[in-house]
Structure 1
Amino acid sequence: MKNQVGTKENPMALQTPPLTSSYTIHVAEKDGKEILVCTVGSTVLHYDIRCINDLHEMLKQHGGMELGSADEQKPAKEGTVEAWGRSESNPVGGWYGLKKGFRGRFGMYVPPLMEALGLVELEHNPKNNRMRAK
């Protein structure tokens, strides 16, 4: 997966679900663990790399789901990918986002990566996009 997602020198270029903003994502190592590094302008977010497989497995069981992206400081809409990405009932028992203050937006930046990897179908409407496992 590491080569598919890219490296710091050659990151994967993606667009947000509504196709309004570009960002890059790559795999890096931090504290001995592989993480996803998402760069949006000057903002850098980190996500636990296992979120890709965990979210794919959950979607295979759950079916389609609204993305519901929200900043860390804002509550996530119940029943969305964003809410699942910070729920105590997910496989990591909480946030997949690893950088305090920037742990949110899971539902904005992880789904396009999963679409690029061929794992999900993703809508590209102006808002309220949904995703489902392939």
Structure 2
Amino acid sequence: MTEHDARGAGTRADPWCLKTPSGSSEYQMYRDETANPPALVCVVGKTELRYHLRCIEDLHAMLAAHGDWMLLGSADEQKPAAEGTVEAWGRSPDNPVGGWYGLKKGLRGRFGMYLPPLLEALGLAEVEHNARNNRMRAL
């Protein structure tokens, strides 16, 4: 298991334990299929972010169709996302949910920070682990 493999089963009782792409912060994620809509819960310290659960498959499909590396471009909800990044796609009216994958107003950003390590740990993507400007691509 490398430092970027997920430990855990992805449940509330046994969440995935992940690190941000730069390796600077740890966080946990788990599936909550009972939520409406079903959610991917991301716990960073005392903060809880929620994304549409379908984002895992949707992001992988988009990256596979893209066929090349894509910048992550992580940004808070209040900041604009750089065009052509994973973050911009995660809030685009052209994505499969027609807008934000984030479900909690005020905490809908950081899609490009927290989703890539999960896709990497699940064997769906390759993610760079530099201090800044990381990219990902589908496997």
TM-score relative to the length of structure 1: 0.94
| Alignment correspondent of 1:13 | 17
Indicate which of 105, 112, 116 corresponds to 2:117. 112
Large movers: runs of 4+ above 6 Å: none
State whether structure 2 residue 79 is matched by structure 1 residue 74: yes
What's the RMSD between the two structures over aligned residues? 1.0
Q: For structure 1, list consecutive stretches of 5 or more residues without a partner in the other structure.
A: none
Tell me how many residue pairs correspond in the alignment: 130
Structure 2 CA distance for partners of 1:74 and 1:5, relative to 1, 3 Å: farther
Query: Deviation at 1:49?
Result: 0.9
| Alignment correspondent of 1:51 | 55
Secondary structure of the structure 1 residue equivalent to 2:30: strand
In 1, the alpha carbon distance for the partners of 2:74 and 2:89 equals: 11
State whether structure 2 residue 42 is matched by structure 1 residue 38: yes
Indicate which of 65, 70, 78 corresponds to 1:65. 70
In 2, the alpha carbon distance for the partners of 1:99 and 1:57 equals: 24
Secondary structure of the structure 2 residue equivalent to 1:111: helix
Q: For structure 2, list consecutive stretches of 5 or more residues without a partner in the other structure.
A: 1-7
TM-score relative to the length of structure 2: 0.91
Deviations 1:87-123 (A, max 9, x none): 0000110000001100000000000000000000000
Secondary structure of the structure 1 residue equivalent to 2:38: strand
